[in-house]
Every structure is written in C-alpha cells, then in structure tokens.
Amino acid sequence: MMNFPEPVIIGSSPAIKKVLQITHKVSDLDLNVLITGESGVGKELIARSLHYHSGRKDRPFVKVNSAALPSELLESELFGFEKGAFTGADQAKSGKFEAAGTGTIFLDEIGELPVFMQSKLLQIIQDREYFRVGGHKSLEVKARIIAATNLDLDAENSSDNFRRDLFYRLSTISIHIPPLRERKEDIPGLVKYFNAFLHQENKLPKVEIPDHLMEIFQEYHWPGNVRELINYLQRYSVFGDSREIQETIRSNQGKSTKPANRNYADNGKDKGNFGLDQDLLSGNYTDTDDFPSLKEVRDRVVKQVERNLIENVLRETNWNRKEASRILKISYRALLYKMKDLEINR
C-alpha cells in the first residue's frame, strides 16, 4: 500500500499534454484503465496520478508487479488464502485485492501474467467477486483496476500469450505514454526538476548541467527513457564528471534508435554467425579515444550473443516464452528478466 503526495508529471510537449488531458478527464471515473508505453516512461506515475485525482485518493493504492512473482504464488498473493489451503498455510492471509479495499489496485507488467491467471482475472472483472485460495466464501471486488504494460498486447493476442477478451476488459480507457525520444522538448524541464528533487530528497550535491552535456542529451535516443535520464543525473551529481556519461551515451548511440526488438543482422554490418559486430571484434580503431575497455568489449559481446540467441528462439517458438525458456534451459522468470534487461520485445 502506498501513501504519497500529489504526483508531479513534468512536460510541456503536445504528447505529454495529451496524456495529462486524458488522465484528468478519466481520473474520477470508475472505469478500468490500461497504461501502455516502453519501460521507464513513467506508467506508474500516471497510475498514481489517476488515483490521487479520484475520489479514492485517501484510500489504499496497492501495486502488484505481475512479472516479479512466480506463477505458483501469484494466485495466493492476489486473492489470499485460507488456513490449510496448502502445505505451510498455517493461518489465513488476505491478498492484494483485499488490501486495496475501496481504493485502487495497480497491476503492473500485466502482459507477463500467466494464461491461467488471465482467465481468473477476467472472471473477477466480470463478476466483481472472487474466492481466497481454499476458500468457499465469495469476496466482493470494490477496488478500481488500473493495469500497465510495456508489451504490444495486440501482438500478444495474436500469439495467444494474452487473452483478447481480458485485453478489452482492461482497456476500457487506454493511455499511451510516448517514449522520451519522441518528446525531447521535455528534457530541460525534466533535468531541472530531477536535479532539484535529488538534491532535496537524496541529499545529493546541487549541480548545473553544462551546455555540452545538455546538447548530448538532446541528441541521444534514450532507450531507457526517463528512468535512464534520472540515472545519468544521479551519477553526475555524485561524480561531477560528464566524461563517463558521454562515453556511455556514445557507446549506446551507435545502437538502433528503437529500444526493443533490435535486429542486429540487418543494420548494414557484417555480424557473423552469432550476431556479433565485427567492427567491435576486430579492434581496428582509428582514434585512440574510441578504444573500449576489455570489460566493455566482453559485456557487449555477451549481450549481443544472448540477445541474438533469445530472439531467434522466440521467433522459432512464435514468441511462446515458456517453450523458449525450456529450449534455452533457463527458468521462465530468468527468461523474462533477460528479455527486460536486453530490451527484447516482439
């Protein structure tokens, strides 16, 4: 459960103004909302804003990360369980829906919800009631449901990874948050706000971003969106040296401007059998300033190989992630983590 002050949404771009307009218009309506957008754009912030500006403001806001919990624990975590429902259930426990009460339940990473849980959630949304695991007494759902995802649920529908009927139920109202690279006019305002915030809340030194670094920010494609910007501002506040940030951005700048579903075999370079950048491996650099460290080379090569292999297996399995995890001989959760870390989306 969260208690928080009024969420602050920074931005003057037409895209963010549109998001704010929709958010304020539907905040006090008891309708399900689906928030979409890439990782790091601020989907939870919009969910919190919807809650704050609603009549439920003084009631609980409960967040559930659908990707962070093992599938076998999700049901009991969401709905609770009765004493003796399973081995180790020594006493009854309420779930997230009960904790939300008449407030808001925020289902983050809803696209990662296992199919069997999707059917249960659909039934709950339709009937507005549910049972604890091992229970026989129905409990009423009084919370407003807000969901968020960084996946393309239309594509997930097509590959049977996400139920279409659940998608329609969740997306009574849809709010899409555009990536930072599509609203770069918001960057100066974000920098100013987070510099002040980091100084006040985290006791980091108060700094001014030099013009040359701001120019780099404006040219960068921001695969990690606002979350990545905050990370750079934190590092600059601590170390006060823009060179390390410039080097990181320069190494990322050569990658695709799309943060997900990168096809490293189609960017005009010879990648070899494993999707490796031969320019990286050759060591032929004309400028000594361009020499990467051995650690950087190793990390980048490993990531390229892993990304290429995982994408190939996912394509072969029609993006069935459970089958892909079996083929790759890793757990389902480990695959989801890898996909998120390597920014792999369909």
pLDDT at 283: 53
Q: Is residue 70 within 8 Å of 62, Cβ to Cβ?
A: no
Residue with tokens 């989801």: 336
Which amino acid, one-letter code, is at 55?
G
* pLDDT number for residue 227: 93
316 CB-near residues (< 8 Å, 6+ apart) = 327
pLDDT of residue 217: 95
Token pair recorded at residue 162: 């996400």
Confirm whether pTM is higher than 0.95: no
Nearest to 22 by CA among 63, 59, 50: 50
Predicted pLDDT at 284: 53
Residue whose token pair is 């050759």:
282
User: What SS3 class is residue 288?
Assistant: helix
Structure tokens at 250: 């320069």
Query: How far is the C-alpha of 176 from the C-alpha of 151, rounded, in Å?
Result: 12
Q: What is the pLDDT of residue 254?
A: 62
Q: How many CB atoms lie within 10 A of CB 123?
A: 13
- The pLDDT score that the predictor gives to residue 293 is 67
CA–CA gap between residue 115 and residue 96 (Å, rounded): 19
Per-residue pLDDT of the chain (346 residues; tens, 9 = 90+): 445 578 999 999 999 999 999 999 999 999 999 999 999 999 999 999 999 999 999 999 999 998 887 777 888 999 999 988 888 888 888 999 999 999 999 999 999 888 889 999 999 999 999 999 998 899 999 999 999 999 888 777 766 788 999 999 999 999 999 999 999 999 999 999 999 998 888 888 888 899 999 999 999 999 899 999 999 999 898 888 888 888 888 887 765 444 443 333 333 333 444 445 555 555 555 555 556 666 677 777 788 888 889 988 888 887 888 888 888 888 887 888 888 888 888 7
pLDDT of residue 87: 80
Q: What pLDDT shows up at residue 67?
A: 81
